[in-house]
Amino acid sequence: MKDTLIHTQYSTGVSRRNIEQALIVAGKDLEHLRPEDLALLEDFHTMGRYATSQLVDLVGITATDEVLDAGSGIGGTARFVADRCHCRVTAVDLTEEYCDTARWLNQLVGLDDRISVRRADVTDLPFADATFQVAFSQHVQMNVADKASLYREARRVLVDGGRLAMWDITSGENGELVYPLPWADRPDLGHLVGSGELRAVVESSGFEIEHWNDLTDQATALMQAILALPPAPLGLHAFVTDFAQKAANLTHALADGRLRVIQGVARAVGAPQSRS
The single-letter DSSP state of residue 231 is P
Least confident of 36-50, 68-82, 207-221: 36-50
233 vs 11 pLDDT, higher one: 233
> Quick one: how far is CA 36 from the chain centroid?
18
pLDDT over 80 at 7, yes or no:
no
How far is residue 250's CA from residue 235's CA, in Å, rounded to a whole number? Answer: 16
Count of other CB atoms within 10 angstroms of residue 25: 12
Q: What is the mean pLDDT of residues 67-84?
A: 97
**CA atoms within 13 A of residue 88's CA, in its CB half-sphere:** 10
How far is residue 125's CA from residue 80's CA, in Å, rounded to a whole number? Answer: 22
How far is residue 251's CA from residue 170's CA, in Å, rounded to a whole number? Answer: 13
Residue 206: per-residue pLDDT: 97
- pLDDT tens-digit map of 86-107: 999 999 999 999 999 999 999 9
If we measure between CA atoms, which residue out of 252, 234, 128 comes closest to residue 181? 252
How far is residue 152's CA from residue 146's CA, in Å, rounded to a whole number? Answer: 10
Q: What is the mean pLDDT of residues 109-131?
A: 97
The residues near 173 (Cβ < 8 Å, ≥ 6 apart) are: 257, 258
pLDDT over 80 at 273, yes or no:
no
Least confident of 54-68, 150-164, 193-207, 259-273: 259-273
Helices (H) and strands (E) in the chain, counts: 9, 7
Dihedral sign of CA atoms 88, 22, 181, 39 in order: positive
Residue 11: per-residue pLDDT: 62
How far is residue 242's CA from residue 248's CA, in Å, rounded to a whole number? Answer: 10
Residue 124: per-residue pLDDT: 96
If we measure between CA atoms, which residue out of 152, 156, 74, 154 comes closest to residue 115? 74
If we measure between CA atoms, which residue out of 47, 111, 100 comes closest to residue 72? 100
Q: What is the mean pLDDT of residues 234-246?
A: 90
Residue 12: per-residue pLDDT: 66
The residues near 195 (Cβ < 8 Å, ≥ 6 apart) are: 170, 212, 214, 260, 262
- pLDDT tens-digit map of 162-180: 999 999 999 998 789 999 9
Four-point Cα dihedral 33, 35, 41, 45, nearest 10: 170
